[in-house]
Structure 1
């Protein structure tokens, strides 16, 4: 089974100069845990919700918040993003993705075309859903 058949084609991205406040707003309004960092239409990084959590002050939004805490929201994406992104292509297989998930302890893989332009994202959850669906279809047959 190729990734093209199960990847999520809704790609949400930011630029390297976007603020962490912008990334925080994205994560607060969507149900996924990674945003791609794009420059000139090509993939140059990725930010997870865990990366964001580590970069922001834990006092944001609390009574104890200080101007210094609030300033962490002004940091730029390029300051916290992962630059060496592991990617796959739409023609790669589910087994290729599983191998990368296991080898690199990651939970999301951007899917890019030959020009490194993101065309989708696959997570381990997408693979579990596809396997479950395949099993259900097999059981019904």
Structure 2
């Protein structure tokens, strides 16, 4: 199976210069767990909701938040993102992404075109959803 048939599109992106406040708001508004970081349309990194969770003060959003707690929202994405993420070309196959998930401690694989511009993303959840669909279709027969 080609990844182009499995990947999620369009991708949500941000800039390395964006603040964590911007990305945190994206995660709050969407059900996404990863945002691709682009600079001049090229993939340069990935930031996950877990990265944000670790980088922000646990007091952010609480009445007890201090100025120092709130200042963590002003950190830049470039400070916490995964730089030069593992990615695959759009013509890659399902087996290629499965191998990457097994070789690296990652939860998503950005899919890029020949210019390294992101065109989609595949997460481990996408793989699990596909397995469930295939299992259910075979069990139903």
- TM-score, with normalisation over the residues of structure 1? 0.93
Does residue 21 of the first structure (1) align with residue 34 of the second (2)? no
Matches within 5 A, 1:60-139: 60-139=60-139
Q: Secondary structure at the match of 1:121?
A: strand
2:38 aligned residue: 38
Cα RMSD (Å): 1.3
Q: For 1:93 and 1:125, how far apart are their aligned partners in 2? A: 17
Tell me the equivalent position of 2:52.
Answer: 52
Give per-residue Cα distances to partners, 1:99-129, cap 9 Å, x unaligned. 1111112111100011000010001111222
In 2, Cα distance between equivalents of 1:140 and 1:118: 37
Gaps of 5+ in 2: none
| Deviation (angstroms), 1:140 | 5.1
Number of residue-to-residue matches in the alignment: 141
Unaligned runs of at least 5 residues, structure 1: none
Q: CA deviation at 1:133?
A: 2.5
